Amino acid sequence: MKEARVYLDYQATTPVDNRVYEAMHPFFKDNFGNPSSTFHSFGWKAQEAVTDARSSIASVFNSKPDEIIFTSGSTESNNTAIRGVAEKYRDRGDHIITCATEHTSVLSVCNHLSNNGFRITYLPVDKDGLIDLNRLSDSITESTILISLMAANNEIGVTHPVKEIGAIARDKNVIFHTDATQAMGRMKLDVQKLGIDLLSVSGHKIYGPKGIGLLYVSGDNPEIQIEPLILGGGQEKNFRSGTLNVPGIIGLAKAITLCEGLYPEEMSVIKRLRDRLLTGIRESIDDISINGSLVHRIPNNLNISFRGVEAQALLMMMDDIALSLGSACHGKTIEPSHVLRALHKQEGDMFSAVRFGIGRYTSEGDIDYTVQRLSETISMLRAKKNHTRKPEQKLPKRYST
Ligand SMILES: Cc1ncc(COP(=O)(O)O)c(C=O)c1O
């Protein structure tokens, strides 16, 4: 394997921004106190820094500081939101609505709950990855306690109409959770205007550190209760016990405020790069199909199937560019992604799908190089009939990112 020289996997993770790194730095060694230590200045300093971080994050979401609960990332936030509501509101109902294209951290929790007596509606999507809002409304019953629908998809970048979903949820008095992991920094996330009750965000998708995230939990109008997943010292209003990850929290706050400050200019630059990539691909490679709506989409994502080309083989030959597959490998077999399957893509298109994630440090040169490498590699693979993977070849396991 070659060292990759171009990084186009920004939906998987992002490098830490220098400004985030600098902000975190003092909290590893100098200001290392535990914010729960109330009897000395080490604790006070840490407490003060966390309070400031919480306030600056809250102002970005138009929420109150005490509605921000720090977690280890979006997997934990999604688990806490869905399982926490299901357990707390079980007396009120046993029905949850989600969507077939959600991240596995949502789908797995819903699966788990369905094995434990809950009824789950998995809304289908159309060929562009969009849900039908009438179908959402019609699915709500007296026993519906939660709607969990992501703001933007991690594989195809398709956005759900969060404001409309929030209005439906309010109207029917159902709690609304949105996984905003991929939407943060790519759209405005005002929880009041959008009618969001619970919202998940992860640090490492927005140029912050790994292992830190948050769950916004509406504190009034409505006041949402959740049964905690993690019990212990009662930190975070008892919603999430454990000593606070102070450097992570400082980094998350810096990453979020940077995204907010750079929006929307950063997104217009990224969209121009995305369009340059698409135009380049369209001009130099035929027989492609774009997965997911181009209109209802975050600007930093493309997911394209290159007909007749096995994406696995393509990515292995292009290991100087960091990209992601559109399908998942389990041991020796490749399984089509549940997202592309939900779009009713043809079998071949699912296995030839590649995800392109563009970000803060992508240059025009990166895009042009990628187009050139794609064009020459795809011509080679298409010319060579026999490029398919040998059955005995060991494939790396791919997780949902
Ligand atoms: C949409 C979405 N939700 C949840 C997650 C999980 O986030 P984390 O890595 O912070 O646990 C990811 C990333 O893998 C994601 O893309």
pLDDT tens column, 126-178: 999 999 999 999 999 999 999 999 999 999 999 999 999 999 999 999 999 99
- The alpha carbon torsion through 3, 7, 9, 15 (nearest 10 deg) reads 100
pTM for the full predicted model: 0.95
CB of 199 sitting under 6 A from ligand 1: no
List, for residues 52-67, the tens digit of each pLDDT value.
Answer: 999 999 999 999 999 9
CB of 75 sitting under 6 A from ligand 1: yes
What's the CA-to-centroid distance between 105 and ligand 1, angstroms? 7
Q: Please give the CATH topology (third level) of the domain spanning 6-14+264-383.
A: Aspartate Aminotransferase, domain 1 (3.90.1150)
Residue holding tokens 């083989």? 313
CB of 213 sitting under 6 A from ligand 1: yes
For the chain, the average pLDDT equals 94
CA atoms of 237 and 84, how far apart (whole Å): 14
SS3 at position 332: coil
In this structure, the number of other CB atoms found within 10 A of the CB of residue 130 comes to 18
CB of 182 sitting under 6 A from ligand 1: yes
Q: Which residue has the higher pLDDT, 343 or 2?
A: 343
Quick one: which atom of ligand 1 is closest to the CA of 213?
10
- Once rounded to an integer, what is the mean pLDDT over residues 110-134? 98
C-beta of residue 278 within 8 angstroms of C-beta of residue 241? no
Quick one: which atom of ligand 1 is closest to the CA of 401?
14
Range with the poorest average pLDDT among 1-10, 42-51, 271-280, 362-371: 1-10
What's the CA-to-centroid distance between 391 and ligand 1, angstroms? 31
What's the CA-to-centroid distance between 74 and ligand 1, angstroms? 5
- Per-residue model confidence (pLDDT) at position 399: 74
| 119-123 and 95-99 strand pairing | parallel
- Helix (H) / strand (E) element for 367: namely helix 364-383
CA atoms of 310 and 109, how far apart (whole Å): 32
- Per-residue model confidence (pLDDT) at position 124: 98
| Nearest residue (CA) to ligand 1, atom 13 | 401
What's the CA-to-centroid distance between 41 and ligand 1, angstroms? 36
In this structure, the number of other CB atoms found within 10 A of the CB of residue 322 comes to 16
Instruction: Give me the architecture of the 18-262 domain, per CATH.
Output: 3-Layer(aba) Sandwich (3.40)
CA atoms of 185 and 267, how far apart (whole Å): 8
What's the CA-to-centroid distance between 377 and ligand 1, angstroms? 31
CB of 154 sitting under 6 A from ligand 1: yes
Catalytic residue among 99, 110, 259, 329: 329
What's the CA-to-centroid distance between 75 and ligand 1, angstroms? 6
329 is catalytic: yes
- Per-residue model confidence (pLDDT) at position 396: 62
CB of 202 sitting under 6 A from ligand 1: yes
CB of 212 sitting under 6 A from ligand 1: no
By most ligand atoms within 8 Å of CB, the mutation choice from 181, 303, 400 for ligand 1 is: 181
Q: How confident is the model at residue 371 (pLDDT cuts 50, 70, 90)?
A: very high
CA atoms of 55 and 170, how far apart (whole Å): 26
Q: How confident is the model at residue 285 (pLDDT cuts 50, 70, 90)?
A: very high
Q: How confident is the model at residue 392 (pLDDT cuts 50, 70, 90)?
A: very low
SS3 at position 354: strand
CB of 71 sitting under 6 A from ligand 1: no
- Paired with 302 in beta bridges are 356
In this structure, the number of other CB atoms found within 10 A of the CB of residue 135 comes to 12
**How large a percentage of the chain has pLDDT more than 90?**
91
- Per-residue model confidence (pLDDT) at position 395: 56
The residues spanned by each domain of the chain are 6-14+264-383, 18-262
